Amino acid sequence: MVSLQQHTAFIKKTATALGFSYCGIARSQKLDDDAARLEDWLRKGMHGTMQYMENYFDKRIDPGQLVPGARSVITLMINYFPSVQQNKAVPKISKYAYGNDYHDVIRDKLQELISRMKESIGEINGRGFVDSAPVLERTWAQRSGLGWVGKNGNLINKQSGSFYFIATLITDLPLEYDDPFAKDYCGTCTRCIDACPTEAILPDKVVDGSKCISYFTIELKEMMIPAEMNGKFDHWLFGCDTCQDVCPWNRFSKPNRETRFSPIPEILDLSTREWEMMTEETFKKIFRDSPLHRSKFKGIQRNLKFISGD
């Protein structure tokens, strides 16, 4: 009989071969502590207009609600830190959106991992999730020994920082489990709190999503951004990396090796004027595979006018 150790080793080796930077595994269980924190966060309205955050509450805190008979939660991380940065004079775009949409890239890798697991191990029940289902992926990453949740709400890896996408694979397969990451290495540092342009980062590792620049530039669907945010966006057109850029742990960030995350040239160099002159047809052509399509052309134009003061 093949041992749990062999199954676990196979999964981690395969994850590495598929381009994942880290792979950790935790025992599936209900997240009671997270349930209380999430309930309080929602009650205070910190999700803004993101009503979907209120949905499927039970599924968010219990993997068994997503995969019947769940035994293991596999957390996979993939680096997206770019090898080149934007021209400093252009409207700013979050580094995660430099290349192709990460949902598509990681979903392909997850499906291949599940396929290889079934080939090698046998019939298993498993589902992979990439930021598109009610999964508390940062909690599972911490429980899998991959890092700690920083004051800015991001999962921070001690060796490599926080510029990582997190994917989750829930399965009914029993495996060997990693020890949780027990220490918080943020210490007394408050750089992310101090640097946040909209004061969205609160004490006790709470982020008010309804004040976050990423919320306004990506999630907010209304065509008017609240006037009280005037002058606070620090020229961010799509998303915001301020809290990560100032984090001392990101001095360890290294360029990713995923070709599909290579920056779209226009993202690096398009001036404000060039963005303003862009047609919807051109936008759809250039950014058809980019996360920017989430805001759509009208959303990008709205953001552009807001940061330009029009």
Which pTM does this prediction carry?
0.92
pLDDT at 1 over 60: no
In CATH, 4-171 is 3.40.109: yes
Q: State yes or no: is 131 an active-site residue.
A: yes
Indicate the domain borders of the chain: 4-171, 191-252+263-308
CA distances from 113 to 22, 44, 105, 121, 304 (A): 14, 39, 13, 12, 40
Q: Is the pLDDT of residue 132 over 70?
A: no
Alpha-helix residue ranges (DSSP H) falling in the chain: 4-17, 32-43, 57-61, 102-121, 137-143, 191-195, 213-214, 242-245, 265-269, 272-277, 280-286, 296-308
Residue 35: the pLDDT is 67
In the structure encoding, which two tokens stand for residue 47, read together? 């999700």
Question: DSSP letters along 69-106, please?
Answer: T--EEEEEEEE---SS---TTSPEE-GGGSSS-HHHHH
Q: Which of 33, 58, 108, 131 is catalytic?
A: 131
pLDDT at 32 (0 to 100): 77
pLDDT band at 50 (very low <50, low <70, confident <90, very high): low
Q: How far apart are CA 85 and CA 250, in angstroms?
A: 14
Q: What pLDDT shows up at residue 297?
A: 96
Which residue bears the tokens 């301020």?
242
Residue 217 is classified by DSSP as I
Checking if the pLDDT of 74 tops 60, the result is yes
Q: Indicate whether 45 pLDDT > 90.
A: no
Q: Check residue 25 and give its pLDDT.
A: 98
Residue 229 clears pLDDT 90, i.e. is over it = yes
- Are 91 and 272 in contact, with CB atoms under 8 Å apart? yes
Most confident of 37-41, 137-141, 201-205: 137-141
